[in-house]
């Protein structure tokens, strides 16, 4: 089939859904790859690099594409140029993209949403939520280290000893564990907390101290957390407050699927931090783990600088694109055979990821929201 690689159009998006070194994987499957001119620019990839890897480069690769791959959802005017039966593969947050989902349904375009790929073992290589969370987690620790005007590591010198920075990480899923591991590698002393029971061991396995609170754990389905009631949330804030006040840096990464980010830290808790402290809120875009954080900005709360994340994976576009492209290649491998599209809706990965197909919305929560 003919696979088009879209140039991202959303403001600030620097990633691209395919990288030259993986084009050969698609052509080896019998597919033709056509990259929209300039698609790789944000990730510092030239059109010539794609051409050398065996891809075509075109100003409009859409009208005869069988499959379009992108990171962000396609712009609506691009979607309208797709042929009936074409397939899109991208992130597609359906609760936000309701107009686009309606268009895709009405155009009889099949859309697969990367964030809906089930998080089962067989789909791990297609798990773009994890690959992008890994990038965001790494970046959050680097940002904290950059903002903090002191060392992360212990320094013992002839001129005296400088103690290491103390970093607290809240939320120890994919991003949080990567933030912990990165802060540890930089030499900080790291403590972390997560509501899931399994997280304590994972926190220790990457070298941090697990903060133990006298609170029930919150297991949801599929290995995720469940939302806390207001009483438990308030108690958690109270118990975490002294740990946060004693830290030089705080990194928050907590999320609950389908819900706004849990409010883990009040402005008052940040105000209790020492002068020069830094806070990195990876959840700023989804409501914020930290009261007062602003996506894409550094604000001052009390004596602390508070950095709000905004499309954080896109801030490291080259590795984020490469990992995402690998996820895409693995999904395309699953949905094609002998160079042609082969969508098997009996496969739980295909069925789980599909939002629209054949003029209908197949993803039930989205159908209920929209129809
Ligand atoms: P996520 O982005 O939904 O949440 C991030 C973290 O925030 C989670 O660890 C969650 O427990 C935590 N959290 C939620 N509410 C909190 C609160 N009030 N206080 C503190 N922490 C809170 O999750 P994620 O990182 O995408 O993944 C979470 C889990 O799923 C992990 O155990 C991960 O290993 C697992 N996972 C499994 C697979 C797979 O099997 N294929 C793939 C990816 C992730």
Summarised one tens digit per residue, pLDDT across range 85-137 is: 999 999 999 999 999 999 999 999 999 999 999 999 999 999 999 999 999 99
Which pLDDT score is estimated for 221?
84
Catalytic residue among 81, 119, 226, 367: 119
Which pLDDT score is estimated for 274?
96
Is 119 annotated in the active site? yes
- Ligand 1 atom index nearest CA of 121: 41
ipTM given for this complex: 0.95
- Hey, what are 53's tokens? 């890897």
Ranges assigned E (strand) in the chain:
2-5, 32-36, 56-58, 67-69, 87-90, 110-113, 155-157, 160-162, 166-170, 189-193, 209-210, 249-252, 278-281, 298-301, 304-308, 336-337, 340-341, 354-357, 360-361
Rounded distance from Cα 225 to ligand 1 centre (Å): 6
Which pLDDT score is estimated for 67?
98
Which pLDDT score is estimated for 258?
83
Residue 32 confidence class, pLDDT cut points 50, 70, 90: very high
- Three-state DSSP state, 90: strand
What is the pTM for the complete model shown? 0.96
Percentage, residues of the chain above pLDDT 70: 100
Q: Determine the average pLDDT of the residues in 140-149.
A: 98
Name residues whose C-beta falls within 8 Å of residue 238's C-beta, 6 or more positions apart in sequence: none
Which pLDDT score is estimated for 126?
98
Which residue has 């992108």 as its token pair? 70
Rounded distance from Cα 257 to ligand 1 centre (Å): 9
Q: Is 36 in the pocket of ligand 1 (CB under 6 A)?
A: no
């Amino acid at each position: 089939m003919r696979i088009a690689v879209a140039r991202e159009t959303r403001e600030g998006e620097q990633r691209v859904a395919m990288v030259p070194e993986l084009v050969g994987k698609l052509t080896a499957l019998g597919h033709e790859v056509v990259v929209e001119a300039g698609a790789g620019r944000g990730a510092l990839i030239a059109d010539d690099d794609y051409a050398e890897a065996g891809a075509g480069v075109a100003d409009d690769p859409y009208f005869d594409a069988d499959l379009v791959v992108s990171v962000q959802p396609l712009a609506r005017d691009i979607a309208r140029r797709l042929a009936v039966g074409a397939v899109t593969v991208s992130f597609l947050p359906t609760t936000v993209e309701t107009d686009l989902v309606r268009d895709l349904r009405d155009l009889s375009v099949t859309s697969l949403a990367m964030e809906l790929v089930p998080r089962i073992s067989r789909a791990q290589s297609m798990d773009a939520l994890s690959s992008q969370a890994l990038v965001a987690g790494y970046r959050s620790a680097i940002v904290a280290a950059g903002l903090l005007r002191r060392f992360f590591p212990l320094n013992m010198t002839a001129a005296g000893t400088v103690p290491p920075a103390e970093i607290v990480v809240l939320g120890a899923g994919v991003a949080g564990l990567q933030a912990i591991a990165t802060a540890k590698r930089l030499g900080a002393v790291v403590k972390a907390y997560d509501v899931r029971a399994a997280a304590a061991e994972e926190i220790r396995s990457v070298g941090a101290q697990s903060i133990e609170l006298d609170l029930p754990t919150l297991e949801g389905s599929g290995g995720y957390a469940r939302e806390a009631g207001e009483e438990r949330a308030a108690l958690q804030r109270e118990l975490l407050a002294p740990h946060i006040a004693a830290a030089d840096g705080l990194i928050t990464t907590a999320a609950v699927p389908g819900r706004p980010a849990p409010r883990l830290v009040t402005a008052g808790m940040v105000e209790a931090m020492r002068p020069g402290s830094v806070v990195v809120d990876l959840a700023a875009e989804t409501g914020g783990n930290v009261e007062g954080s602003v996506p894409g900005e550094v604000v001052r709360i009390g004596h602390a600088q508070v950095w709000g994340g905004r499309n954080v994976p896109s801030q490291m576009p080259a590795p984020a694109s490469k990992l995402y492209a690998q996820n895409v290649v693995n999904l395309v491998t699953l949905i094609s055979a002998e160079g042609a599209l082969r969508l098997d809706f009996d496969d739980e990965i295909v069925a789980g990821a599909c939002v629209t197909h054949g003029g209908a919305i197949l993803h039930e929560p989205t159908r209920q929201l929209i129809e």
